[in-house]
Amino acid sequence: MALIVQKYGGTSVGSVERIQAVAARVQRWRNDGHDVVVVVSAMSGETNRLIALAEEIQPEPTARELDVLLSTGEQVTTALLSMALHSLGCSAVSLNGGQVRVLTDTAHTKARIKSIDKERIQSHLQQGAVVVVAGFQGVDQDNNITTLGRGGSDTTAVALAAALSASECQIYTDVDGVYTTDPRVVGNARRLDKITFEEMLEMSSLGSKVLQIRAVEFAGKYAVPLRVLSSFEEGPGTLITLEDESTVEAPVISGIAFNRDEAKLTVVGIPDIPGVAYRILGPISDANIEVDVIVQNVAEDNTTDLTFTVHRNDMARAAEILQNTAEQLGASEVRTDDKIAKLSIVGVGMRSHAGVASKMFGALAQDNVNIQLITTSEIKISVVVDEKFLELAVRSLHEAFELDQAV
Ligand code: ADP
Ligand code: ASP
Ligand code: MG
């Protein structure tokens, strides 16, 4: 008898029939003698629909009110799933974030969980009920409703599993595990039996949306056993493991992540003197714009260029700020480009293997894909390319590193 936290994503609760199928699965776990806490997302498309409604009224909706609106999506599915369980004769109770008391900071639309009260959940479990919790939401210290950022139900599930010391946190979704790359882009992508927390963290932060990055961070920090599985078919899924269990014969590359959400800004002809990077990037960060890749060129004629990437939604604002700084610095030009994509190869095996980068660049060269920017860390290499080459580049790297072959 164990305590299991299960999370069902939008597609998995996207219709009445699917909600009934989830209820049947939860009941099977109950019948096997387990305590079950279920976290649900809103029905697929619902969060986007709510955002669109808000934007019809206010182009940049007030964040507090947006959270009140968005949190309703998850409240609908908690009630429907509880009803579906009741109709199977299974005791269940729905709770929203405030009722559990998922306490967060006050950063509306991207709040972080600070603590979770487990008493109410535990008392329902003791009475034999399945507890169905609304994902993606919490309340701040003044009881204002907050949400955790897109994909945030994953984080609710992992945080609950950590708070309740669950035996496993199971993320049920529309694919049967974590793949070498997005199976919607590469047909012969392969499901991984396991992947390390560290690699999963890179995959998530570099664009694989199968798990929200904060969920992976949480799982790593609190050593929550985490598994990604299909809600449509039975199977072992992918286990996210601690590194020492799987590095012995780690493949050099575990996966390829990519991201079409970034835009590139370059300021050309800036004086090559101390403090310039700070003067350029300081105002960007003061405007709360996150900067990702940063590359500065070798100086020539006492001037240099600086290029960085930001989220596409932030490009216009970043360009305006940059234009201003460029004028102050006497730079010759500001260039922007939102038709870019970033792709990254990830693997802990990279630490002990040479030649990974040249193999990557060789494969891209063979397909005539021009590399615009390169950044590396110990376990990943990222390149920025023209968006139109993204899918070709992902497929070509998948082949070059033989990711479709079983290890
Ligand atoms: P949910 O609604 O269940 O949270 P998401 O849409 O957030 O589901 O995440 C699942 C999707 O993530 C898959 O349908 C798949 O297209 C995408 N995905 C991206 N990269 C990967 C990967 N490496 N492995 C598996 N799925 C991936
Ligand atoms: N419903 C939210 C979203 O679409 C949260 C989630 O599904 O995890 O982003
Ligand atoms: Mg998701």
38 CA from centroid of ligand 2 (Å): 15
| CATH number of the domain that residue 339 is part of | 3.30.2130.10
376 and 280 assigned to the same domain: yes
184 domain-assigned: no
Q: Whose CA is nearest to atom 8 of ligand 2?
A: 151
Instruction: Tell me which of 174, 207, 227 is where a domain ends.
Output: 174
pTM of the predicted model over 0.85: yes
User: Do 369 and 383 touch, CB atoms closer than 8 A?
Assistant: no
Residue 294 pLDDT level (bands cut at 50, 70, 90): very high
Closest listed residue to residue 42, CA positions, set 124, 151, 158: 151
123-178 pLDDT per residue, tens: 999 999 999 999 999 999 999 999 999 999 999 999 999 999 999 999 999 999 99
Question: Residue 207: what pLDDT?
Answer: 93
User: Do 216 and 194 touch, CB atoms closer than 8 A?
Assistant: no
Instruction: Tell me which of 154, 174, 194 is where a domain ends.
Output: 174
277 and 376 assigned to the same domain: yes
Q: For ligand 1, what atom is nearest to the CA of residue 203? A: 23
116 domain-assigned: yes
Ligand 2 site residues, Cβ closer than 6 angstroms = 9-10, 41-42, 47, 73, 135-136, 150-154
Question: Residue 280: what pLDDT?
Answer: 96
193 domain-assigned: no
Residue 308 pLDDT level (bands cut at 50, 70, 90): very high
269 and 170 assigned to the same domain: no
Residue 82 pLDDT level (bands cut at 50, 70, 90): very high
Beta bridge partners of 270: 304
User: Would you say residue 65 has pLDDT above 90?
Assistant: yes
Strand blocks (E) in 90-225: 92-95, 102-104, 113-116, 130-134, 137-139, 145-147, 168-173, 194-196
What percent of the chain is predicted at pLDDT more than 90? 92
Ligand nearest to the CA of 173: 1
173 C-beta closer than 6 A to ligand 1: yes
Ligand nearest to the CA of 69: 2
Beta bridge partners of 169: 5, 226
275 and 374 assigned to the same domain: yes
151 CA from centroid of ligand 1 (Å): 10
167 and 264 assigned to the same domain: no
Instruction: Tell me which of 174, 203, 225 is where a domain ends.
Output: 174
14 and 155 assigned to the same domain: yes
Ligand nearest to the CA of 149: 2
- Specify the higher pLDDT residue, 36 or 252: 36
In the predicted model, what is the mean pLDDT of the chain? Answer: 95
Q: Whose CA is nearest to atom 11 of ligand 1?
A: 210
327 CA from centroid of ligand 3 (Å): 42
201 domain-assigned: no
200-259 pLDDT per residue, tens: 999 999 999 999 999 999 999 999 999 999 999 999 999 998 865 555 566 789 999 999
Q: What is the mean pLDDT of residues 292-300?
A: 89
243 domain-assigned: no
375 domain-assigned: yes
205 domain-assigned: no
Please state the domain count of the chain.
2
26 and 131 assigned to the same domain: yes
206 domain-assigned: no
Q: Whose CA is nearest to atom 27 of ligand 1?
A: 182
Q: For ligand 1, what atom is nearest to the CA of residue 231? A: 3
Please list all protein residues whose beta carbon sits less than 5 angstroms from ligand 3, which is an ion. Answer: 9, 151
User: Which domain range does residue 140 map to?
Assistant: 3-174
